Structures are given as C-alpha cells and as structure tokens.
Structure 1
Amino acid sequence: MPWCTRSEIRQLSDEAQKIYDDVRRGRLVIHAHAHDGYSAVAAGTYRDTGRSVYLHGENHLRQITDTFDSPTQALTAFHRTHGTALRPGPAPMTDTERQTAHASTSLAPTPSTTGTAPQTEQVPAYAADPGDHEALLNGFLDGQGDWEKYRTWEDHTTVATHESLTLRILFDHEAGPRDPRWTIAAYESPVSERMWYMTLTPTVPVPVLKTLLDALGAGDAWETALGSPITDKQLAQATQPLTAAGWRSAVDGHSQRWNTQQGDAGVQFDTFAAHNPQSPLHTWTLWAGPDIDSPTWAIRASAYTPAGLLADLAEELAHGTGTRQTRSGQPRRVKHLSGGSPAAPLPPHSTRLRR
C-alpha cells in the first residue's frame, strides 16, 4: 500500500484485525468464500446486528467492501459474481493466520505427561475419539455382501458401490483435517443425476460414523423426495431427537440451529440452500467443537438427504455415548453425560493476527 500514509495503513490494519477477531470469536459468520483471481473474497453476517457484508482481501488487507440487509441478498449477489468459484464456509487459513495459531498454541502452558498413561473416559458420542476410519470402512464392507470395493487409478482413493449402482461411498485416505474423507452419494438410477450427497471430515467420532454406516447397510438411506424442497414434517422428523433431548433451538439469519446447552455441538439447517438445491452451499451441517465455523469435526449434507437418515444421526448425537482417551493432568473436555458437556476452551483472543 505505497499510496497510503502511515496513519491510513494503521487504520486499515486495525480494521482488518477487527474483522479477523469477529470471525474467530463467532460474531461474524462466514457463509461462503471464493478467489477472484487476485485475493480471497467472502460473504458473511454479523450475529448481533444481522448486517451481511462482502469481504475482500486477506490478512492485514481484509476489508468490508459492501453491505446487505440480509444473508439471502448477500449470498445471491455473491453467487452472481463468483458463480462456480463459490465455496461454502470460511476460506482456509492463510499462512499468516496459521503461524498466528501456531504461536498461540506454543505459548500456551502444556501439562507434563511424564509418568502418565492414557486414561479412557466415557463421553457423549459427539465428543468421542475419531478412531480408525479405514478399519470401519473395511469392517462395514466385510459385513455387507451387496457392496463391492475397488481402488481407483488414484492410490489414495477407495470407492465402494452398492450392487444396485445407486449408492456410492468414496473414501479419501489422504484427506486433510478439514477436507472430506468420506463422500456418500445416492442416485435415482445408475445413469441418473445425483439425488443427494453427504461429506464427513476425518475426525468424525466412531459412534457417529458407525450409526451412519449401519443406516446405509440397512437400506434406510434410499428414500428421498426427489425434486421437492424438504417439508416442515420432514424437518421436524430429522431434528425430533435433538428437541426431545433439550437442545436449544434458534433462528440465525436464514439458518435454523439446534445446539447443546453448552454450545459444544450442533445441527444447522440452511433454508436458503434447501430451496436452492443447485447452490454449492450445504443444507445440513452436523458438528462439534468450539463453534460451527471452526469445528472439531463436521458432516455436511445436501438438500434431499433423507430425513430418516438425518434422524438416526441426530439420535446418536443426542443420546449416544463413546470413549475418549486423555492423560491425567490434561483438562477434561467432557465431565457429565447427563445434561451435556462443557464447551471446549477457545483459543486465547489476545493473539494478534499481525504477530
């Protein structure tokens, strides 16, 4: 920014820092991002004011370049401008943001593990360890005679297909922490367009993943209302276990959310995506962790994903249990199964982006 004075540079950097902090603390929810050929761009909404914004730039150059009255207006304009380049959720961290996060972690005190051994504790299903996903896939296929597994020309990918050729699982052995490890897709016929899909990150807990695979093996995933938006009845069916378990329900812009009382896990239904199936945005997001924008794990699903399948997952989130290994001396993230668990501690907010 050679054309700016020192005062102007300081002001721009302070404004960029404030945007970064708002995103990090969950005040500014990022709906979608893209790359315009020069820099990252994004659309988001402030929780407290409801104001939607268009962001341009990265790190100390990030700034608000436009505002909208609603998330729908912002996403419509964003999609019109960036088309197929649009991607749901926040953009991956920049090198500067990654270095800042690393610095925050390295400065945090770490308890000594000398002489300690891992201990196993029982926790809600959403807080359990991810376990060995590859072993779960192999175990599922070994017990299902109507599924066939084969490796593709890419060594890091395995594909499993049902004998009807209308349901497929793609497993990426080398997926990054936030990338889809599992992609499940259903088709009306072997030669039709895809009806619905679901993606899972590598850190989805064992009990949740097993519930999903059991539903696929039982054939519960085939029924869907192709070509029509989800009904209120189907929405209620998919989320009834959460409501019955006392999860908090709230409307946030064009999304409806159900969260644990502690806010450390949740399910989000995006009404805009549900009524615009061609949009790259996800209709459903199931997650656990500090918040939905920086989850420990996430499952994302499209508009026509069967309500029964989602209800099975919601039931597991609300009432299922699993195990997690910890070391004595480490803070426990989950203490009580009844009434939910305390939220995982957030990273310190004092770390500056410009570190």
Structure 2
Amino acid sequence: MKPHDDIDGDVYVSPRYLARATAIGDPGLDPLRDLGWELHNDDLGNAYLNAPDRKVRLGYLPEGDDDGLWRINAYKDPFGPPVWGACFNDSCPTEFVTAFTTALAEAYEQGPASYLARPVSGSNDRDPFLAVAPLINRGWRLDRPRWGAFAVHSPDGLAGLEYTVGDLDPEAELTTRDARWQLWAGTSIDRPYWYATATTDTPVALLKAVTESVSDPTPLPRWRDDTYSYVKNMAQLIPITPPPPPAPTPLDVQRAAARQPAPRPATSVPRWSTTSRPALPSRR
C-alpha cells in the first residue's frame, strides 16, 4: 500500500485552503483505525467507524444523500441524540479532516472528559476563542459580516471562519449549514469551494486542530489536472520536481564492480631493437 506521506501530485497548491479533497479518504480514517475502531462498509461504498464504547461515530459517505462527505458525531448515551457533530463536505481538503480526527483520537484516549468537553468562555483551555487564535496569529482579520455573527477572513479574502452567537436549533446544527461554526473557502460563503461545520458543543481542541491546519503556510501537493479551473487563477501552483536519485551505498558500488567484465590482456606492441633486421636497399 502506498504510504500516505509520499508526495502524491505534480504541483504544490498555495495557499493550502484552495486545494481540493484528495481521491481517497484513508488519511482521515487512519488516526481512529489505529486505535482499533471498528470499520464497516455498506453496499454503496460508504464507510463507518465506531468507537469501542459506541460513543463516537464517523461516517465517510461518498454515496450519501448530500455533499456531506465526512460526518462525525459524539454521544453521552450511545442510543441518545448526538452531543456534538462536525461535517466536512466532499470538496474539503482531506488534510483538514485528518487534523480533526487526529485530535479526536488523542481526546478519545484521554476519556469522555476530553472528547465530550463543552466549550466554556473564559476557560484557560476550553474558551472558543482558542480555536480562532491560530487564524488571528497568522494574519487573518476580524469581521462582522452580519448581526449575530463574527468572522475572520484570510488576507486574500478567499477563506473564512464564521461563528454564530445566540441560541441555535440543535437539529438544524447537525443536518444543515446553520451551525455554530462554519469554515469555508471561496469568493462567497453562500457558494463556497468547500465548507466544514461544527455544532455548539464541539470540543475546542478539535476545532483548533483544524484552524491550525487551514492556516498553515505549508502548501499541499495535488495533481494539476485535478485542480479546479477557477482556483488555478487564484492559487499559486508550484511544480513539484522529482526527487534526485539516492546516493549509491558501498554495497551498490561493490555490486556494480562485480558486474564489470574482466580486463583484457594487454596487446603486445612490436618495438625496434638493435637485433632487428636491417632494411633492404631501395631499388635504384
């Protein structure tokens, strides 16, 4: 199997939030599969991961009913409604999903007090602003796009995070884009290139992992032909040069020498000497 850390593409896309999703979802699933979470597939090709205690569930839904490719929910009671939920649509760069599931794996190992930790304003480690801080620290600017919400936008205006204040419908948060948190890229939040949402009680540590990944200045490798045409005019596409061949090891040198043909014996070259027969006189 191809390692996920191999470069898979012919260009680097910068800024990284203008890249699109990768062709496979394995990198997003692996942090939880590595913990022994149970994986099931349906006949359509959708994949489902369940935590051992059934209190966290992930669905990878390429054949789902809408464009929500990734849906992650957590429960206090496995048979009750979700405590929190997050959704990444089918165009969201897979690296952002992987950042979320990696943080979720760490929180799950710490126990319910971590992966069910509600955000608390003013808390040292659970204040919602902690999820916004990575964006502010990397030059994203604050905005008030509408009443009842605040937002931060990337310096080029092509990505944003919007936080809605006030009371929200828990069911709508889980099933629509009307959630507490919405992260997106594009020229408009109404028609984004990709989006991700998270409900009110999503742990701050998981959200912070995503915003750190989104604002990371490191570009992402992609295939030029798979990059959206309208993004090509806005993103910087840097060709990926093939890696140089590895330096030969002493064993390589030894093997190469063994494959060389044996040297031929030197050909004898006649030399003039004092015993050589004198030249015949020329004809007059």
Normalised by the length of structure 1, the TM-score is 0.54
**For residues 170 and 12 of structure 2, what CA distance do their matches in structure 1 show?**
43
Q: How do residues 189-338 of structure 1 correspond to structure 2 at under 5 angstroms?
A: 189-219=77-107, 222-225=115-118, 231=121, 233=123, 234-251=127-144, 252-272=146-166, 275-278=167-170, 280=172, 281-321=178-218, 322-326=220-224, 331-335=232-236
Residues 122-162 of structure 1, C-alpha deviation per residue, up to 9 Å, x if partnerless?
Answer: 423312231124333554454232x001134x634322101
More displaced, 125-134 or 279-288? 125-134
Corresponding residue for 1:170?
59
Quick one: which amino acid aligns to residue 171 of structure 1? Y
* SS of structure 1 residue aligned to 2:20: coil
Residues 150-196 of structure 1, C-alpha deviation per residue, up to 9 Å, x if partnerless?
Answer: 134x63432210112110001212247x6101110001132333100
* SS of structure 2 residue aligned to 1:295: coil
Quick one: which amino acid aligns to residue 285 of structure 1? Q
Specify which structure has the higher proportion of strand: 1
Q: Does the 8 Å contact 2:44/2:63 carry over to 1?
A: no
- Aligned in 2, Cα 1:297/1:259: closer, same or farther, shift over 3 Å? same
**For residues 140 and 130 of structure 1, what CA distance do their matches in structure 2 show?**
18
Q: CA deviation at 1:259?
A: 0.5
Q: Does the 8 Å contact 1:207/1:320 carry over to 2?
A: no
* SS of structure 1 residue aligned to 2:67: coil
- Aligned in 2, Cα 1:259/1:193: closer, same or farther, shift over 3 Å? same
Quick one: which amino acid aligns to residue 249 of structure 1? L
Q: CA deviation at 1:230?
A: 5.0
**For residues 162 and 21 of structure 2, what CA distance do their matches in structure 1 show?**
21
In structure 1, the gaps of 5 or more residues are 1-117, 338-355
Quick one: which amino acid aligns to residue 130 of structure 2? Q
**For residues 156 and 86 of structure 2, what CA distance do their matches in structure 1 show?**
26
In structure 2, the gaps of 5 or more residues are 1-8, 109-113, 173-177, 239-284
**For residues 173 and 162 of structure 1, what CA distance do their matches in structure 2 show?**
21
Q: Does the 8 Å contact 2:28/2:95 carry over to 1?
A: no
Q: Does the 8 Å contact 2:25/2:94 carry over to 1?
A: no
Structure 1 stretches of 4+ moved >6 Å: none
Question: CA RMSD of the aligned region, Å?
Answer: 2.7
Quick one: which amino acid aligns to residue 238 of structure 1? A
Q: CA deviation at 1:304?
A: 0.5
Q: 1:148 aligned to 2:5?
A: no
Across the two proteins, how many residue pairs are aligned to each other?
Answer: 211
When Rg is computed on C-alpha atoms for both structures, the one with the higher figure is: 2
Corresponding residue for 2:245?
none
Residues 234-286 of structure 1, C-alpha deviation per residue, up to 9 Å, x if partnerless?
Answer: 221111111111211112211110110111011110113xx334361211101
- Aligned in 2, Cα 1:198/1:133: closer, same or farther, shift over 3 Å? farther
Specify which structure has the bigger relative contact order, considering alpha-carbon pairs within 8 angstroms and separated by 6 or more residues.
2
Corresponding residue for 1:80?
none
**For residues 212 and 250 of structure 1, what CA distance do their matches in structure 2 show?**
25
* SS of structure 2 residue aligned to 1:299: strand
Q: How do residues 20-99 of structure 1 correspond to structure 2 at under 5 angstroms?
A: none
* SS of structure 1 residue aligned to 2:44: coil
Residues 81-113 of structure 1, C-alpha deviation per residue, up to 9 Å, x if partnerless?
Answer: xxxxxxxxxxxxxxxxxxxxxxxxxxxxxxxxx
Quick one: which amino acid aligns to residue 256 of structure 1? F
Normalised by the length of structure 2, the TM-score is 0.66
Q: Does the 8 Å contact 1:326/1:332 carry over to 2?
A: no
* SS of structure 1 residue aligned to 2:235: coil
* SS of structure 2 residue aligned to 1:249: strand
Q: 1:123 aligned to 2:20?
A: no
Q: CA deviation at 1:216?
A: 1.9
**For residues 208 and 137 of structure 1, what CA distance do their matches in structure 2 show?**
8
Report the identity percentage.
Answer: 22
